Structure 1
């Protein structure tokens, strides 16, 4: 097969993804949730009917035609089956095997004969989607191939699939049409905070059902210990459908196992299903039933949003000021001010706030500002030692506990996080708790078994405090990886362990810094494989990086943020529009469209809770 748009074993992820099927619309009501990604369609998916096999077609044409037939929106894929021998129909496992995505513009799908009655189909894949709906970016130039046997059926060539089966290969346009990225929600063990888990779902009439089925599954591994679910084990749907009535009410009829949940569990289960299903266009409320009998909780028989049950999704803290450090001096500025053109032409310093720290000796570097802006954590310039600064108190210098310490980060509970090496040289993640009983607790280590053989370079805690965005490398600095790891905490909120991370931004071969922008989005400072020079990137968990993943027919490179030579750190005063980069030449740069404008001179910019 040649040309065309590759249908990477995406179908394999499709059915497996059905268990996680996603939805397409904006919520009709409810709390603030992640909205549509740029490029998402607001219409129902367009049905594309591929061409079936024609008489006299060559083996190469038949093999390529079969792969392209995977873009059919028909859930039964009847046209695609016409390309197969009768014994191969059951081997086409588009919902149980990986889906591969290739570039729709390069038309990079080729088919060539590799022997008698055998054809090899090849494409350069951009990504792979697992049966569980996980989107995995692939390194540039990744080639995937499959060899099909061909056999005559009634005198015409037909594809004989390998005994291991086959999934889907989809070009990027077909993928965006047939799949949608949506979240499945879990809850924090303490408090009532919703935590999203990003997955890809087949886009079609069964999206609501697929989302509900995904919600009934257990907590994903990378969030183990960090979140819980109100859904009891073995809970399923009584019927294989979640109907939505004319008023927009989705009715989820659960099996009897759902009755094992206590009142708090039932409330969480209902909040989770409401948050998840409300992403579907046309769903305005959610009702639960058990084996046909309506479930009523606190007098409610239908819920319009998770907020009605006291649950919320925590977003980033938006701020209009930040602390600029220049040498030992700290001043409060408005980092949102973008000068028209002149370098270093910025608005006057704003008035200091009560509790602002105004000076820290320059022997202390790598600073972080607490969520309430009352405290600054600082690591020594030699990356040994940690000090804590408050305007109304003498600075607290902690006894040495590690070396190669990273820039600290605060979480919403007041814990200070750092990566580094302990006194024996072992890689660790450290935390220092907030003041208790007039004293500051000593640093403690978090259990991170997967960190063996690696070291932490940078870290950032999510707004709700349940996840850690962490950059690690091998000891020599090679093999940089960005991951999201669930945070286990004790009853008093102290971090105790990190789950094995879910990797993000695999296409970057250099990663220096990263931070959360929202519940499901992040920014990372890194270099794309095959390029030189650091560049800030904006990403969506489980959906790739803006400027890398193709959406529609446009060239993704045209939407990339400009590179920043000698960039050292990245922060934000809000979402991606508030991104700020600091270079090792003391230039503080704010985002202005896709470019960067210098707003100040300083070696650090401190944003509360970042």
Structure 2
């Protein structure tokens, strides 16, 4: 996990025109083919070429298996295609992830095969991952022709099909980095690309220059001007240095913008093995880069390692068995008889759900300010610009936003098929709003981009993405763990609880929760979350179970960072 201090280290090298890229983990070793499904990391899958005399179905099965390997531009997979179709098939157009065990093949006439499968997820041409919204089967048709007496595929859908057990071994997750609209935060957009070392850095740079995913447009901004492109079809790496040569459009900007472009490049390429430096040039001419404009950029703000709690009537940070109250904040929070609290990164502002609705507490003010007095308000959330956000369970689309100056706005959220809203939680960089949305099918985790003006004022909420249904019975609570991860606490049908840790732009990991779990909150060290039970026990996971940290806790608060 890259923190703000790591960003500062990377920026030291920008003055010389090359950004030293920090590493967050060791390079993963390539496993053998027998380790393909063992979860040991990225491996090379060695597919078989087409066999003489193979039937149409055998050719189709062989093609799908071979398309799991991106090596040599899917060279083996293309051997299953008719000569005139090989160069037309585009494997990068999409990825369909399925179980692999429920594929059905059927003949249609004498020269066609129909494949039926149940999708679990999709990856689009830009590498953006989304969970399948339905378990309904999809069908794909393939046409065949004989060449040299052997069946070959003459027409096929673009893209590849891969089973979910192989997907994380063949595709790698890489975060593309953009900026918040005020350029204060570096923010991630996770993508998935084939494990093809020769072309991976080129794919990352192309997608970075193309801009953020559609649902993040407006919430994220890029330093690359519109029309920026690579001057060639590859990013070369020599001696660990990635040379990124851009067209003149990209160069028609001031020095601070070039510095931001290079920061985006260096952090987006940080996860590529073998790259330690990035040099940016315009039409072959290296650019000298200053770090002045980017030196204060924050990435992935951390929170305190102490829980934010109310215990025995005192609100603050838990230290041992004592609660350290927060100057200017704690007394006002305590007076509101809080049910939920979110505290700002500088510990000068908080939003509170308490007597009379939802409130905004400011350490520089004498009294709290009302955000929302509607009946049925849920726990409010807070963004780094000082705006308090509130909603009611029965009116999931209308969000009331109170600004630092006291102005109140209502913004509309397009939660799909929403029947009610259970929780909202703002990312620590203020660019995304996560929610627990109850639909006819269950409760889903959804995330939307927050579009802001240059001054930081929220102006709209983008169309959300659905990260999937929270497993278990009833969703209870939601929190952000880091820049890409949220966690939802849910009660199961048997009275137990579960914790669903969901990566935005990736999959999820569901773990058993503690008995009587009621709410979840963040912590600045692994495992990055606490759970508070309904009888006041603050617990965290230890080994295969849960361990009590302390008892007599009335609430666990949300933290948006630390001073």
- Category of TM-score, reference length = shorter chain: 0.7 to 0.9
Q: How does 1:272-421 map to 2 (within 5 A)?
A: 272-298=264-290, 309-325=295-311, 328=313, 330=315, 332-334=317-319, 348-352=321-325, 354-355=327-328, 357=330, 360=334, 364-373=338-347, 376-380=350-354, 385-388=357-360, 395-396=367-368, 398=370, 401-420=373-392
> Residue 478 of structure 2: SS of its match in structure 1?
strand
Q: Distance in 2 between matches of 1:228 and 1:155?
A: 55
Query: Scaled by the length of structure 1, what TM-score is found?
Result: 0.76
Shift of 1:191: 4.0
What is residue 232 of structure 1 aligned with on the other side? 225
Q: Distance in 1 between matches of 2:24 and 2:29?
A: 11
Query: Scaled by the length of structure 2, what TM-score is found?
Result: 0.82
CA contact under 8 A between 1:100 and 1:128: conserved in structure 2?
Answer: yes
Q: Distance in 1 between matches of 2:351 and 2:225?
A: 42
> Residue 215 of structure 1: SS of its match in structure 2?
helix
Once the two structures are superposed, residues 521-549 of structure 1 have per-residue CA deviations (whole angstroms, 9 ceiling, x without a partner) of 22122479x99964112222211112xxx
Question: Paired residue for 1:93, among 90, 95, 102?
Answer: 90
CA contact under 8 A between 1:369 and 1:375: conserved in structure 2?
Answer: yes
Shift of 1:492: 3.7
Query: Given the superposition, is the C-alpha separation of residues 462 and 562 from structure 1 closer, same or farther in structure 2, using an over 3 Å criterion?
Result: same
> Residue 62 of structure 1: SS of its match in structure 2?
helix
What is residue 537 of structure 1 aligned with on the other side? 500
CA contact under 8 A between 1:385 and 1:397: conserved in structure 2?
Answer: no
Q: Distance in 1 between matches of 2:523 and 2:221?
A: 30
What is residue 168 of structure 1 aligned with on the other side? 160
Once the two structures are superposed, residues 529-585 of structure 1 have per-residue CA deviations (whole angstroms, 9 ceiling, x without a partner) of x99964112222211112xxxxxxxxxxxxx42144554321111255131123444
CA contact under 8 A between 1:121 and 1:147: conserved in structure 2?
Answer: yes
What is residue 19 of structure 1 aligned with on the other side? none
Shift of 1:168: 1.0
**Counting strand residues as a fraction of each chain, which structure ranks higher?**
2
Q: Distance in 2 between matches of 1:217 and 1:199?
A: 13
1:480 matched to 2:476:
no
CA contact under 8 A between 1:249 and 1:285: conserved in structure 2?
Answer: yes
Query: Given the superposition, is the C-alpha separation of residues 260 and 473 from structure 1 closer, same or farther in structure 2, using an over 3 Å criterion?
Result: farther
What is residue 15 of structure 2 aligned with on the other side? none
- Report the aligned-residue RMSD: 3.7
Q: Distance in 2 between matches of 1:367 and 1:181?
A: 33
Query: Given the superposition, is the C-alpha separation of residues 125 and 41 from structure 1 closer, same or farther in structure 2, using an over 3 Å criterion?
Result: farther
> Residue 320 of structure 1: SS of its match in structure 2?
coil
What is residue 578 of structure 1 aligned with on the other side? 528
CA contact under 8 A between 1:369 and 1:606: conserved in structure 2?
Answer: yes
1:30 matched to 2:10:
yes
Q: How many residues align structurally?
A: 532
> Residue 216 of structure 1: SS of its match in structure 2?
helix
Gaps of 5+ in 1: 1-25, 301-305, 335-346, 547-559
Question: Paired residue for 2:459, among 496, 503, 506?
Answer: 496
CA contact under 8 A between 1:213 and 1:236: conserved in structure 2?
Answer: yes
Question: Paired residue for 1:56, among 38, 53, 58?
Answer: 53
Q: Distance in 1 between matches of 2:461 and 2:260?
A: 23
Question: Paired residue for 1:597, among 547, 550, 560?
Answer: 547
Query: Given the superposition, is the C-alpha separation of residues 48 and 453 from structure 1 closer, same or farther in structure 2, using an over 3 Å criterion?
Result: closer
1:121 matched to 2:115:
yes
Q: Distance in 1 between matches of 2:224 and 2:317?
A: 47
